[in-house]
Structure 1
């Protein structure tokens, strides 16, 4: 794992509330003056580009990478070709500028500390495999979780953020 950057994960199974929690933690931590970046893993094909745009046409024409830039942001789209593996988290983080913390959503089986999000309504979606390196749990139904690790209510953003910041120090 990349030792230069502090990395902490938010993991869970489908529809558990990972994105909602990650966004709330980013807002809480940036309000505290911290610089935060995120990495989101998708298990399906996705496209940040829209058909008909110039950058989409570049990729459709065969460009392996397309950099889209403006005065407000830039995005690098990299096409993974047949003989290329999906980049691991270290490779992705190496492309990012240094910040106080990178929150990673997903990467359930990667080797870095994580909070697991469990929603009562989405337990049916829980996977058979255990998520790796879970050091705390977050749920909307605290009474139904019997676990020795710290457990937070999903709406307790301040204390979840405090826990993460204490952990990475």
Structure 2
């Protein structure tokens, strides 16, 4: 049987849409679908909606976001010292120096962050110092029991 290039293209497109689980763009990863969005443990648990037979979450090993220490021991006193030492430092220097730091706010711009707890991770807030350099004005240190906030001044 011969098919035209347009027919072959249409068949490929239909196969791709079927493989992705839906032909309607509204079905993909909606965060407002209620408590089952992203799995039972919330959006950080996975990208698939609970019970969706057309989606398979990758098993990354362990239970990310469940408050575990993600495979390393945390020296909480050293982490507190690191957090305090970041205050007043330029944002770029802090982000280059530490791997366990994320930017939560730059001036008036709020960043989108996950709500998973990772003991030892630090989230910084920065403000322009008037010269165009953004400096750290607050650090939130995640601990096994929640979080601690450090502020400049």
Measured against the shorter chain, the TM-score band is under 0.3
TM-score (norm: length of structure 1): 0.22
Q: Which has the larger radius of gyration?
A: 2
TM-score of the pair, normalised by structure 2 = 0.23
